[in-house]
Amino acid sequence: MTTHASVLLKDYTPPDFLVDRVTLVFDIRPEETRVTSTLTLFKNPDKSNKSSVLKMDMGDFEIQSVTLDGQNLSSNAFQADGKQFIVPDMPDRFTLETRTLLCPEKNTRLEGLYRSRGIYCTQCEAEGFRNITPFPDRPDVMARYTCTIIADKTACPVLLSNGNPVKAGDLPDNRHFVTWEDPFKKPCYLFALVAGNLSWIESPFVTRSGKHITLKIFAEPENIDKCHHAMACLKQAVKWDEERFNLEYDLDLYQIVAINDFNAGAMENKGLNIFNAKYVLADPATATDDDFMNIQRVIGHEYFHNWTGNRVTLKNWFQLSLKEGLTVFRDQEFTSDLNSRSVERISNVKTLRALQFPEDSGPMAHPVRPDAYIKMDNFYTMTVYEKGAELIRMIHQFLGETLFQQGMALYFKQFDGMAVTVEDFLSVMAQAGHMDMTQFKRWYTQSGTPTVTVTRSYDPDTRILSVTFAQHTPFDRNQSEKQPLHIPIRMGLIDPEGKDIIPEQKSLIQMRDDTHTVAFQNVPSGTLPSVFRQFSAPVKISTDLSDEELAFLMARDTDDFNRWDAAQTLFNKEIQTLVSAIARHRPLTVSQNLVQAFETALSDQSADRAFLAKALAIPQEMELANLFDCIDVDAIHAARQHLKTHLAATLTPLFLNTIDQCGHSDPESLSIQDIGNRGLRNLAISYMASLGTASVHDIVWKAFLAAENMTDEFACFKILCTTTPELKRKSAARFYDKWSHDPLVMDKWFYVQAVSPLADTLPCVKDLVTHPDFTLTNPNRVRALIYGFAMNNPVHFHEKTGNGYEFITDKILELDTINHQIAARLTGCFNHWKKYDSHRRVLMKQSLEILAASPNLSTNVYEIVSRALA
């Protein structure tokens, strides 16, 4: 394995040269796009020892000519090796013009300029711009851009870039051009270009100050009717940011383009967002309720970046969470304000626990602000995004909404138009909140998830209840010793009548030391602490609550998040008991306590059904895996199945009743009630199906046929694929016939089969790889089938034979010749190899070693493999 060098935060130095203006001309022809870039560069005045050597980044392309201040440079006057472009002896200020030749048609890596189903588009974050032209490709170099696109009128009637169109016209040979000018300075990662045959919808919007702006969404002509939900979400986002954050849109035009082949979810390029089609296109027939919600979230997210990311950007890539954590916090608040706050909080915490906690205890563990990377693309992680958002949420709790917003206002006042750091953000928050943030900053620099252990003691004579918190973060490769963190603990006390007995103002505890004790006076006996309400800090919580006490909190806590969490803890404890019974070949039982708590909750006619659908779902196998030091995938699967079947068998009439009562929603409505009805009904169907009888299979099959929207159709299809091979085949055939024309629905078709627990899954997945509708070049398709299998089907991926590992190892190598980012993400499926039994550990390590030994491994995959093996 050839090694690759790390980039270190401590090595950061300001750029030697800055760029004033960037003028780009793209001349697009089949298999041959010519780019002329004219840069006005000057020596960075803030640098004391100025270098005269211009070093820029460059990708693997052909340079056709270079001119310096109008003079042609011969090829020995500069160096260009496909990584760096170097010209010695530069004056203080000069104009450099380079002409490069690109072939977007052959770009399968989907970074820089590429073509997706006939549409030319760009993805420049993090370091894709260097694949277009030599440039100081770093976010602290900000410039004003003008971009002219020339292309064939028939193939590319629509030509887009950032900012406003300022000139357009026809050219000979059926060609035309449009020139775009972006009035705002930006780093090159926010540059974008789109050219192709696109349709669009548009809508006027009047901003708070009375400015008339135009919102446009572009998609392939056949998909344009599926853009209306995205447009509605965009308007909600523009309005919400004005109302809640006092932020107004700054250009006259806001454009979104839906693209089929896209490495990430979406990209916030200034005034021209490029989206994975999955986060734009929807109608009730083809998109599930979750899809609709995700579109709202991602449309919001990219829009909110216009201020948090674009107007104020990053000094270097280590600061990524400065824009991503903050923008995720903003999109979470947006979704919470517009829908159900508790349901939103629950799904965020589920993601954090299922994906970020493991990341934070594995080989990829890194601080929210990493201090080293080899390939930045590998650090678009759960830690930077989701844990990063939790850090902002903690600051928000310390300050409260009013002071937090004052801090945000200060942030824009001080740093608008600049490239800044996490310290800069913390300084405005410290100022607004009159708070010392020194200790809090450790959350950004220290990796790992702290565990907070909560213990109680009650003295019936004095009626004093003492609650003690102890924090501990295990050491890891990043820091051998962990410092105590500043942790907000939001808590309440629930008396035996279910009443909250401490006032809201006293509910926030600030923990700063290893241990912290609070004593409450005059507390009735039997009162229970309800800790970390609304999940007030991203920690693992360990309490001494008994099953009875958890059941009480599940029914009576006034904090809805903690009602849900009590149910989760009960499920978790039950699974742990079952897994250890399986290991010791003991008979499997289920505690009556859990069954009763479940029954009480499900019988509650007044309950919020969306909430119930979350509270009564047994945690996924991946979440459950976190409970064990050594993961036994088969036992976890069997335990979960046993618990599910036991509940279904014991509470059959109640489940049937739920299916019936929730069956009367408007199939096309997206109201919280209707979404809740569908969620709870489909959950009840899945419980019933676990019984495996012909009569319940019949119920599911009929529900599948009768489904009037994708939420129900998909839910039933997924369940049918867990029943029998026969029903799986039958439902897959029907689903295929109905939807083979629609790529986003076909992703669901591949996914559902990839995650099936049935015995024939691996051979079936191998078959699907050869299906005419499968391709390794489309990231969504790969994520559906290959990631689906590797990441969401633990039982089959971890098959004892090692066949699952072998299959995925082959696919990683194959993918790595096509798309490095997508291959590297997939490699993460081996990250936790040390957490399995010795047999699997050996096999997984072998896979990593095969990868390590493979010649021509990309830097992206190399980084993941080398960290996993270290």
Q: How many residues bind Zn ion (CB under 5 A)?
A: 2
Candidate list 268, 289, 291, 674; residue touching ligand ARG; CB under 6 A: 268
Q: Give CA–CA dist 43/26, Å, rounded.
A: 27
Candidate list 158, 201, 224, 264; residue touching ligand ARG; CB under 6 A: 264
Q: Give CA–CA dist 131/137, Å, rounded.
A: 10
Q: Considering beta carbons, is residue 388 or 804 the nearer one to Zn ion? A: 388
CB of residue 233 to ligand ARG, shortest distance in Å: 15
Is 97 assigned a catalytic role?
Answer: no
Burial class of residue 630, CB neighbours in 10 A (0-12, 13-18, 19+):
exposed
Interface residues for ligand ARG in 704-743 (CB under 6 A)? none
Whole-number CA gyration radius for the chain = 28
Q: Which stretch binds Zn ion (CB under 5 A): 325-333, 536-544, 670-678, 751-759?
A: 325-333
Q: How many of the other CB atoms lie within 10 Å of CB of 7?
A: 16
Q: What are the b/e assignments for 190-218, b being 16+ CB within 10 Å?
A: bbbbbbbebbbeeeebeeeeeeebebbbb
CB of residue 376 to ligand ARG, shortest distance in Å: 7
377 binds, among ligand ARG, Zn ion, none (CB under 5 to 8 A by kind): ligand ARG
Are 179 and 166 in contact by the 8 Å Cβ rule? The answer is yes
Q: Considering beta carbons, is residue 326 or 624 the nearer one to Zn ion? A: 326
CB of residue 328 to Zn ion, shortest distance in Å: 7
Pattern 323-342, binding to ligand ARG, x per CB under 6 A?
-x------------------
Amino acid at 866: S
Instruction: Report the phi/psi class of residue 310: left, alpha or beta, with left for phi > 0 and alpha for psi in -120 to 50.
Output: alpha
CB of residue 304 to Zn ion, shortest distance in Å: 8
Interface residues for Zn ion in 604-633 (CB under 5 A)? none
SS3 433: helix
Write out 495-551 in H/E/C secondary structure: CCCCCECCCHHHCEEEECCCEEEEEECCCCCCCEEECCCCCCCCCEEEECCCHHHHH
CB of residue 328 to ligand ARG, shortest distance in Å: 8
Q: Which stretch binds ligand ARG (CB under 6 A): 261-269, 523-531, 546-554, 728-736?
A: 261-269
Q: How many residues bind ligand ARG (CB under 6 A)?
A: 13
CA 155, 158, 164 angle in degrees (round to 5)? 155
Pattern 100-139, binding to ligand ARG, x per CB under 6 A?
-------------------------xx-------------
CB of residue 336 to Zn ion, shortest distance in Å: 18
Write out 649-676 in H/E/C secondary structure: HHCHHHHHHHHHHCCCCCCCCCCHHHHH
CB of residue 334 to Zn ion, shortest distance in Å: 13
200 binds, among ligand ARG, Zn ion, none (CB under 5 to 8 A by kind): none
Q: Considering beta carbons, is residue 126 or 343 the nearer one to ligand ARG? A: 126
Determine if 266 is a binding residue for ligand ARG (CB under 6 A): yes
User: How is residue 135 written in tokens?
Assistant: 């440039």
CB of residue 600 to ligand ARG, shortest distance in Å: 41
Q: Give CA–CA dist 10/586, Å, rounded.
A: 55
SS3 164: strand
Q: Considering beta carbons, is residue 125 or 560 the nearer one to ligand ARG? A: 125
Find the helix packing angle between 725-739 and 710-720, rounded to 10°: 150
Pattern 818-857, binding to Zn ion, x per CB under 5 A?
----------------------------------------
* Positions of E strands within 244-370: 253-259, 266-267, 272-276, 313-314
Residues 6+ positions from 631 with CB-CB distance below 8 Å: 625, 832, 835, 836
Interface residues for ligand ARG in 361-400 (CB under 6 A)? 377, 380
Pattern 352-371, binding to Zn ion, x per CB under 5 A?
--------------------
Q: Considering beta carbons, is residue 279 or 701 the nearer one to ligand ARG? A: 279
Closest C-alpha among 618, 517, 600 to residue 553: 600
Q: Which neighbouring-strand residues pair with 42? A: 18, 93
Pattern 808-847, binding to ligand ARG, x per CB under 6 A?
----------------------------------------
Query: How far is the CA of 547 from the CAs of 496, 574, 592, in angstroms?
Result: 15, 10, 10
511 binds, among ligand ARG, Zn ion, none (CB under 5 to 8 A by kind): none
Write out 365-408 in H/E/C secondary structure: CCCCCCCEECCHHHHCCHHHHHHHHHHHHHHHHHHHHHHHHHHH
In the DSSP assignment, the letter for residue 440 is T
CB of residue 218 to Zn ion, shortest distance in Å: 20
Q: Considering beta carbons, is residue 651 or 815 the nearer one to ligand ARG? A: 815
Q: Which helix (H) or strand (E) holds 199?
A: strand 199-206
Interface residues for ligand ARG in 201-240 (CB under 6 A)? none
Are 395 and 404 in contact by the 8 Å Cβ rule? The answer is yes
Burial class of residue 335, CB neighbours in 10 A (0-12, 13-18, 19+):
buried
Q: Considering beta carbons, is residue 268 or 713 the nearer one to ligand ARG? A: 268
Closest C-alpha among 811, 798, 813, 812 to residue 843: 798
16 binds, among Zn ion, ligand ARG, none (CB under 5 to 8 A by kind): none
Q: Considering beta carbons, is residue 373 or 520 the nearer one to ligand ARG? A: 373
CB of residue 305 to Zn ion, shortest distance in Å: 6
CB of residue 380 to Zn ion, shortest distance in Å: 9
Q: Give CA–CA dist 731/697, Å, rounded.
A: 12
Measured at CB, which residue is nearest to ligand ARG?
Answer: 264
Catalytic residue among 302, 386, 621, 623: 302
User: How is residue 572 written in tokens?
Assistant: 């978790």
CA 280, 286, 287 angle in degrees (round to 5)? 55
Q: Which stretch binds ligand ARG (CB under 6 A): 260-268, 337-345, 513-521, 787-795?
A: 260-268
Q: Considering beta carbons, is residue 111 or 324 the nearer one to Zn ion? A: 324
Q: Considering beta carbons, is residue 286 or 319 the nearer one to ligand ARG? A: 319
CB of residue 772 to Zn ion, shortest distance in Å: 35
CB of residue 320 to ligand ARG, shortest distance in Å: 9
264 binds, among Zn ion, ligand ARG, none (CB under 5 to 8 A by kind): ligand ARG
Q: Which stretch binds Zn ion (CB under 5 A): 141-149, 210-218, 324-332, 599-607?
A: 324-332
Q: Considering beta carbons, is residue 310 or 682 the nearer one to ligand ARG? A: 310
User: How is residue 61 written in tokens?
Assistant: 């392309």
Q: Considering beta carbons, is residue 269 or 569 the nearer one to Zn ion? A: 269
Q: Give the residue carrying structure tokens 């496909």.
A: 82
Candidate list 302, 359, 565, 574; residue touching ligand ARG; CB under 6 A: 302
Q: Which stretch binds Zn ion (CB under 5 A): 213-221, 326-334, 662-670, 709-717?
A: 326-334
Q: Considering beta carbons, is residue 267 or 531 the nearer one to ligand ARG? A: 267
Interface residues for ligand ARG in 632-691 (CB under 6 A)? none
Q: Give the helix ranges, DSSP H, for 690-819.
A: 694-706, 710-720, 725-739, 743-754, 761-769, 779-782, 788-792, 794-797, 803-816
Q: Give CA–CA dist 90/69, Å, rounded.
A: 11
Amino acid at 690: S
Determine if 864 is a binding residue for ligand ARG (CB under 6 A): no
Candidate list 132, 215, 267, 349; residue touching ligand ARG; CB under 6 A: 267
In the DSSP assignment, the letter for residue 82 is S
Residues that bind ligand ARG (CB under 6 A): 125-126, 263-264, 266-268, 301-302, 305, 324, 377, 380
Active site residues: 302
Residues that bind Zn ion (CB under 5 A): 324, 327
